[in-house]
Structure 1
């Protein structure tokens, strides 16, 4: 696998630090959601919740109330908080969670001398942006070059790392701090339909921070790829409403992904021309068990090929753009990787990713 063209130095994902809040809201959500459904649909919801293979989802919402949907919780009232209240919470909690991830990163690699900051987030808006807030709290130089990637959804980590790679390829002395931070639990919707409730069942909060540079440490970042599936733009959506962002995740998504991966041309693009079985590290966005199953079956992967992705899903649920970074963090802990592929799906319906390999 070619990690760099003759005209460019190699680029490396040196290390990743991850962070989640300390409030587990998964069980409380299930109890709340099933009570909103007619009796005939509760059994189906219970089966789907059990099948989701998610044990924990973490939230920045205060744990002091016990549950966000319980008495005294953020969503306790008959009318849920408006978008302004949710964005006010985002402005405080998103930078704090991001900084916790940077602290975990700093335990692994020096975070001094940062020249560029790339931040991805799709669960909130604030101006000045969280990139500026984070830069100020980290005491980064006022001259640090900032890029804020917003509202791209679950594959935004790919866009962020791809941007960092482009920067280092053009400026080999650059040290790029990449942050993904998502607070999905700020967007609970008071619906009584099973499909949106099952969509909300997937999502939790999390943040990751990575250092990308020309230093040969970690994983070499290879060629990126991107594609958009035809006639699929309504399958994954975030709709901005007066009560937060409403997620629409169609049950057709796994089937459409499996159908796309049946195309040998697309698979060759994803694997850099190798057979899927030759890839020894798959970092697939843990968007849900059915999505991971679709990828595994479509590519005829072995039963342990997506073990890192499945472990992230069990422990954290889907954290939108931060999820892929959590998977890559687990892969970085491996002893060796020869040929890796990162792959994520999101609104569009689009698939984006990149090749990666050993640092030497």
Structure 2
């Protein structure tokens, strides 16, 4: 008897993306501008904000003062987590509803929830079951606290599930409320990191049905001597983010020809038609574009997402893939997302 087994290809059939209703980007820029005692820091921050290529970032509260009052450092982590519990499930449910699953929601076999900006249980997965028609027998997994590259990790997990269980219908939901973790400081690097983050959610349906984006392979990379360049720790007044200004340079050096041969399974960079690069910030996109010698249009989807939403942590690369699907892009693709470690998670895919 033959023991040969040919795993099925897993496809991203649909992606739904949503953001909260309040645009707080200009509100934050005005607030941050007032936190610096030194005129030199204030001018430098303004210059960097003008060059950030971000027009909008979204939050569930109308303004920073609405939630934080006069001093963000007076709002402890417990208060922030209560706000996460209040608002994150609604955003996640809106994303799932955007898939228009209808009665097919009852056919979902696996639910994967991604978040690194809050913790609560019973939580987002329970709300999705209760409000979206997903059965309570669904196999549930939460990918927590991995950071911005977790969007790729969620897709990777769905890919493995479908390849081992071809009848599986996997729902991947990312929800991030980055705006809950702002703090008051006159440290320029920290305030510049707050400048790029916003809130958003994405829901993805992954099955063996041959429609959408076919996921081909995944590759994880850890960049040497970069462990402290991006860190994410739980503090007393929210989660403490460190995003070093050295990240773009480290990425540019790491994405050399030998590394890209591994990422692209031996193919040439020129063979990739679609680049779904996590827009962690303008300088990160510029670094990737320069290192890979890409053309000005190659990262247009990533730059559009950055401009309209900022960096929404794990949801962001899913927004980029959604933009490509909405545009009807075809050919071979490479997705990349970066996060703590410094780590890069990559995915090869194709669309016809």
TM-score when scaled to structure 1? Answer: 0.93
The residue number in structure 2 matching 1:22 is 21
The residue number in structure 2 matching 1:12 is 11
Q: Does 1:184 align with 2:178?
A: yes
Pick closer, same or farther for the CA change 1:108–1:133 going to 2, 3 Å. Answer: closer
Point out the more displaced range, 111-120 or 307-316: 111-120
CA distance in 1 between partners of 2:151 and 2:102 (Å): 20
CA distance in 2 between partners of 1:206 and 1:253 (Å): 23
CA distance in 2 between partners of 1:335 and 1:198 (Å): 34
The residue number in structure 2 matching 1:196 is 190
The residue number in structure 1 matching 2:282 is 289
Choose the corresponding residue for 2:349, options 335, 356, 360.
356
Displacement of 1:141: 1.5
Q: How much is the aligned-residue C-alpha RMSD, in angstroms?
A: 1.6
Choose the corresponding residue for 1:68, options 60, 64, 70.
64
Point out the more displaced range, 136-145 or 226-235: 136-145
Displacement of 1:80: 2.6
CA distance in 1 between partners of 2:131 and 2:237 (Å): 29
Q: Which portions of structure 1, spanning 4 or more consecutive aligned residues, are displaced by more than 6 angstroms?
A: none
1:34–1:46 Cα contact (<8 Å) kept: yes
CA distance in 1 between partners of 2:134 and 2:273 (Å): 37
Q: Does 1:245 align with 2:239?
A: yes
Displacement of 1:209: 0.2
The residue number in structure 2 matching 1:320 is 313
CA distance in 1 between partners of 2:277 and 2:181 (Å): 24
2:280–2:311 Cα contact (<8 Å) kept: yes
Displacement of 1:230: 1.1
The residue number in structure 2 matching 1:92 is 86
Displacement of 1:273: 1.9
Q: Does 1:152 align with 2:146?
A: yes
> Where in structure 2 are the equivalents of 1:333-348 lying within 5 Å?
333-348=326-341
Pick closer, same or farther for the CA change 1:109–1:277 going to 2, 3 Å. Answer: farther
Please give the per-residue CA displacement for 1:105-127, whole angstroms capped at 9, x wherever unaligned: 21799544100001100000112
Q: Does 1:274 align with 2:267?
A: yes
Displacement of 1:6: 6.6
Displacement of 1:182: 0.2
Please give the per-residue CA displacement for 1:208-230, whole angstroms capped at 9, x wherever unaligned: 00100000010101101001111
Point out the more displaced range, 219-228 or 265-274: 265-274
1:167–1:174 Cα contact (<8 Å) kept: yes
